[in-house]
Structure 1
Amino acid sequence: MSKIKRGKPAQRGTGGDRNELQTLIHARTPLPTNCRPGRADRINLSYREFIMWCGQVPLMDISSSAANQCRNENDSVRDVMRGFVTDTQRTLDEAPLSRTQIIAIALTALMGAVDGYDVLAMAYAAPGITEEWQINKATLGIALSSGLAGMAFGSLTLTPLADEFGRRKMILAVLAVMGLGILLTAFSRSVTELSLLRVFTGVGMGALIPIIAPLAIEYSNVHRRRLALAIMTIGFPLGATLGGFAAAALLQYHGWHSVFLLGAAATLGLLVAAYFWLPESPAFLIARRGPRALELYNDYLRRCGHEPALQLPAPNAEGPKHSSYVTIFAHRQWTVTITLAAIDMLYLMTVYYVLSWTPQLIVDLGHTSAFATMAVSLGAMVGVLASLAIGLIGINVPLRWITAGLMTGLSITTAAFGIGGFSTMGLVLLVAVTGTFLYGGTTAINGLIVNSFTVDSRATGAGFVMGVGRLAGVISPALAGFLFTAGLQRPSVSVMISLCTLMAASLVLFSRQLRSVQGDLERS
């Protein structure tokens, strides 16, 4: 039988030794006889790897105990095998996206869409709730903020579990929480009950985006990571757009309860789809290296149309010896974490003011609830195009510059919405431009956040930053409601809150802590 040449170590991943080994892998030969009993148990190799290390081909029906009777006498075959292990990761990085990867990235976009609809469902239903229950703006502001309070809690507490137990398991869990919560919200009978159920639903919503944001780039090859993140991010405005059109149609013939029933049906349907078609993140499997990591990693490779690996590729960095929270506040990392949290919080002060109050403010200008919903949905649709444009922009444009520019634009349009008096067409145009800056800026800042943490702590880091940011979501709508009730008018409130995003843009552009962070996901 042909054997692997001995003596001089094989070149990793190249040369005749590798080709010969690849041929032998698919053969079927008896258990090797040239390996002597010895110290195999000290080598800590799998049965398949050990037999190949002996210079022979494994038989699938030979027990692991038989493999433990062999030991290798030189390292040439192991050198070749290491080349194969390296190649599996290189293949995922360089090969075109497979159908499995495309479906997985598309599912992250659909999850973003569900999240976008669920977040705005309360804003869509707000005029109907106000009319039916006869509540003032201060009370409405509390109801609008309650879901965001749950989101902050979910980001800070549930997201780290994705770095510990896996992205897929946590996604299924949070989708179940969201679906149940929004379903029960449809049957609320008081503001208190509604607010509590929005907190419960928000716990799931808060954990979802920080998990799927890193997941999108972990499914992608190295050349399409920014685009994959953009596709995931456009799910939010897409959900707001299509969901807004659907909500507008429902509100013409049904009550506000129908808005939440639609969200529940979409969320629970996506839960079923994710159960069947969403694989575990390969980057997580490599980083955490759990008991079934190699099995799940090979299952992912097979689904992507690649040969299975003999062992897991080496992680890019050594896994954390402490909890993920300790890691994101470690030396040289804590300043980046705190800076990003401050930027996200300032930015979202304006974002959630726009998302939560724009429909009601448009109604206050004399337009119908259906028109307000349609206008907000149009802004979200334009935001989809802006997000895709950012994903397609080449790596020659630093992401920090894009982020700062879009934040500045959002600050200007938010102030303009408060100051100017607009015709119907001018109002629609302003909402569309605002959507461009808002959703484009969200895509850009998500890229900065995800790229600032290692795989081992990526979900925790994103969860912490976005969780702190969503505290602004709790504060902003409620603060605006109290300011309106106190007698301040739309121009004053809008200008005050727009300054928060202008400060965020300044931090992005001039902060020393972010200058070392590569804004281009293609290099991560």
Structure 2
Amino acid sequence: MNAGLADAPAGMIGEGVADPRARLMAAPMSRFQWMAVLLTVALCALDGFDVLAITFAAPAIAKGWGISKAGLGYVFSAGLLGMAGGSFFIAPLADVLGRRPLVLISLAMMAIGSFCAALAGNIPILLLARVFTGLGVGAMIAVINPLGAEYANERRREIALSLLNIGYPLGGVVAGFVAAMLLPAFGWRAIFLTAGVLDVVMLGVALLLLPEPMAFLMARPRADTLARANAYLRRCGHPPVEALPAAPVRQAAPTVQLFRDGMAALTIKATAIYLLYVMSLFYMQNWLPTLVADLGFSPAVSAGVAMLMSLGGIAGGLLVGLLASRFGLKPIVAGAMMLGASAIVLFGLVPADLLLLRVAAIVVGIALFAGMIGNYAVMSRTFPVRMRASGTGFVIGIGRLGSVLSPIIAGTLFAAGLGGMNVSAVMAVPALLAGLLLITFPVGAGERA
């Protein structure tokens, strides 16, 4: 027995005791479990709003402050740098302190960063605000994906994760709608003020309603674990248990475990796939409104076109969830990634026709977000529960650290005189490579281990 369980009540731990996690995984999902999954959808939507707020505000900021495209690339990258730090350094605490406390901390950081961005009077302050927002968003994204996997049963896990990650483009749709409505009358600062208010509201909701999942309760037992586990079971409509199975022996720090016992190759390959794909994804997310504005359209119209990319992302997320449950996760996600690469090139070829731009934005959103949402499902099956938040955080952290270069590379290419068509063709290559690499990835190997 672990030393950390010395204060556990008698009868709490027992060899050969039925595992309530297995009961939850096999039983139909309760209303309480679906409510928990929907909360993760709302949290992911808030992530999408906070991340994409800068992309919708960027054309107006560039016009008002006279920022070049190269400078705009650094503004975009500031949030990505923060997201890398949040995923890499803050998210692993969720495997120690719990999923719920990290969600609350992340929301508080996102709110502070958004309000500071709204009040920024110069580029350095705006950059710092975006880094701070990114820290919260990066930790949040890494934590809510394990949450979605742990709230769901075995049969509905892919659907739950697809719904969860549909929240990200849904947040983009809301951010685009808010930008299109507020930019003409109130300017770009109103977008960040709205984000901060939404962060504070969701902090209150999570404080009241977000539960700690059963998987984490049992992976990190303490004196009141039996009572907390039974409370969770009752809320799911299951009878309480008199004892819990013996807890796993505490091992090294979760991040260290990612490179032990056969996990190193999986971790490195999952990181490479994510890094390559987000380079292409964040190119389109950050630069699409500017690409449209360069064709002669106003910031508000550009925001509306970008919103359609997020709307297409919702459809892509639903589609990948439905198809993956029928045809398998890996072929659907790999195909979506390669289709996403093609869609990026396609968007670069579209002329200054608003209808064609809107259709192309929807196609890009369907393909790119199907690949990204499917990739999060792949990650949820790559790491065992004891290191799931750490593994997801490591992959996202390193991937986002690499993706910081994406807006900068694109901005440099634009500044060098390349047009949108050529830059888009270059930035589509990483997504193609990610899809090819995923074909050889053993999906589910870490979870089985």
Instruction: Give the TM-score band, short-chain normalised.
Output: over 0.9
Q: 1:214-229 counterparts in 2 under 5 A?
A: 214-229=146-161
Aligned residue in 2 for 1:330: 260
Aligned residue in 2 for 1:433: 363
Determine helix, strand or coil for the equivalent of 2:116. helix
Is 1:281 the counterpart of 2:213? The answer is yes
User: 1:256 & 1:370 partners in 2: Cα distance?
Assistant: 10
Moved more, 467-476 or 93-102: 93-102
Q: 2:413 aligns with which of 468, 479, 483?
A: 483
Once the two structures are superposed, residues 449-505 of structure 1 have per-residue CA deviations (whole angstroms, 9 ceiling, x without a partner) of 111000000000000111111123311011111211122221221111101111111
Q: 2:76 aligns with which of 133, 140, 144?
A: 144
Determine helix, strand or coil for the equivalent of 1:515. coil
User: 2:352 & 2:253 partners in 1: Cα distance?
Assistant: 52
Deviation at 1:312, TM superposition (A): 2.1
User: 1:134 & 1:265 partners in 2: Cα distance?
Assistant: 28
Q: 1:382 aligns with which of 294, 305, 312?
A: 312
Is 1:131 the counterpart of 2:63? The answer is yes
Aligned residue in 2 for 1:97: 29
The question of whether the paired residues in 2 share the 8 Å contact of 1:152 and 1:468 is answered with yes
Quick one: percent identity of the two aligned structures?
A: 38
Determine helix, strand or coil for the equivalent of 1:309. coil
User: 1:292 & 1:305 partners in 2: Cα distance?
Assistant: 20
Aligned CA distance change for structure 1 residues 146 and 49 (closer, same or farther; 3 Å) = closer
Is 1:402 the counterpart of 2:343? The answer is no
Determine helix, strand or coil for the equivalent of 2:166. helix
User: Structure 2 regions of 5+ residues with no counterpart?
Assistant: 1-5
Moved more, 394-403 or 110-119: 394-403
Deviation at 1:200, TM superposition (A): 1.0
The question of whether the paired residues in 2 share the 8 Å contact of 1:89 and 1:313 is answered with no
The question of whether the paired residues in 2 share the 8 Å contact of 1:103 and 1:277 is answered with no
Deviation at 1:419, TM superposition (A): 3.2
Once the two structures are superposed, residues 361-381 of structure 1 have per-residue CA deviations (whole angstroms, 9 ceiling, x without a partner) of 101011121221111112211
The question of whether the paired residues in 1 share the 8 Å contact of 2:9 and 2:223 is answered with no
Aligned residue in 2 for 1:258: 190
Aligned residue in 2 for 1:198: 130
Kindly provide the amino acid, as one letter, of the partner of residue 160 in structure 2: A
Aligned residue in 1 for 2:3: none
The question of whether the paired residues in 2 share the 8 Å contact of 1:320 and 1:327 is answered with no
The question of whether the paired residues in 2 share the 8 Å contact of 1:168 and 1:279 is answered with yes
Determine helix, strand or coil for the equivalent of 2:252. coil
Deviation at 1:422, TM superposition (A): 5.5
User: Structure 1 regions of 5+ residues with no counterpart?
Assistant: 1-42, 51-77
Determine helix, strand or coil for the equivalent of 1:366. coil
User: 1:423 & 1:49 partners in 2: Cα distance?
Assistant: 67
The question of whether the paired residues in 1 share the 8 Å contact of 2:282 and 2:403 is answered with yes
Aligned CA distance change for structure 1 residues 49 and 143 (closer, same or farther; 3 Å) = closer
Determine helix, strand or coil for the equivalent of 1:165. coil
Is 1:299 the counterpart of 2:231? The answer is yes
User: 2:382 & 2:351 partners in 1: Cα distance?
Assistant: 41
Aligned residue in 1 for 2:442: 515
Kindly provide the amino acid, as one letter, of the partner of residue 159 in structure 1: A
User: 2:242 & 2:320 partners in 1: Cα distance?
Assistant: 38
Larger radius of gyration: 1
Name the one with the larger helix percent.
Answer: 2
User: 2:12 & 2:385 partners in 1: Cα distance?
Assistant: 27
Kindly provide the amino acid, as one letter, of the partner of residue 466 in structure 1: I
Give the superposed CA RMSD.
2.1
The question of whether the paired residues in 2 share the 8 Å contact of 1:240 and 1:380 is answered with yes
The question of whether the paired residues in 1 share the 8 Å contact of 2:276 and 2:434 is answered with yes
Aligned residue in 2 for 1:233: 165
Determine helix, strand or coil for the equivalent of 1:393. helix
Deviation at 1:428, TM superposition (A): 1.1
User: 1:418 & 1:295 partners in 2: Cα distance?
Assistant: 57
The question of whether the paired residues in 1 share the 8 Å contact of 2:382 and 2:443 is answered with no
Aligned residue in 2 for 1:65: none
Aligned residue in 2 for 1:27: none
User: 1:464 & 1:507 partners in 2: Cα distance?
Assistant: 19
Is 1:159 the counterpart of 2:69? The answer is no
Deviation at 1:134, TM superposition (A): 1.2
Deviation at 1:181, TM superposition (A): 1.1
The question of whether the paired residues in 1 share the 8 Å contact of 2:103 and 2:143 is answered with yes
Moved more, 109-118 or 387-396: 387-396
Q: 1:461 aligns with which of 379, 391, 408?
A: 391
Once the two structures are superposed, residues 311-338 of structure 1 have per-residue CA deviations (whole angstroms, 9 ceiling, x without a partner) of 22456xx455100111111131101100
Determine helix, strand or coil for the equivalent of 1:404. helix
Once the two structures are superposed, residues 40-85 of structure 1 have per-residue CA deviations (whole angstroms, 9 ceiling, x without a partner) of xxx99845679xxxxxxxxxxxxxxxxxxxxxxxxxxx99xx56x3
The question of whether the paired residues in 2 share the 8 Å contact of 1:412 and 1:498 is answered with yes
User: 2:356 & 2:41 partners in 1: Cα distance?
Assistant: 31
The question of whether the paired residues in 2 share the 8 Å contact of 1:356 and 1:477 is answered with yes
Using the size of structure 1 for normalisation, the TM-score is 0.81
Aligned residue in 2 for 1:5: none
Once the two structures are superposed, residues 157-177 of structure 1 have per-residue CA deviations (whole angstroms, 9 ceiling, x without a partner) of 001100011001111111111
Deviation at 1:94, TM superposition (A): 2.7
Kindly provide the amino acid, as one letter, of the partner of residue 137 in structure 2: M
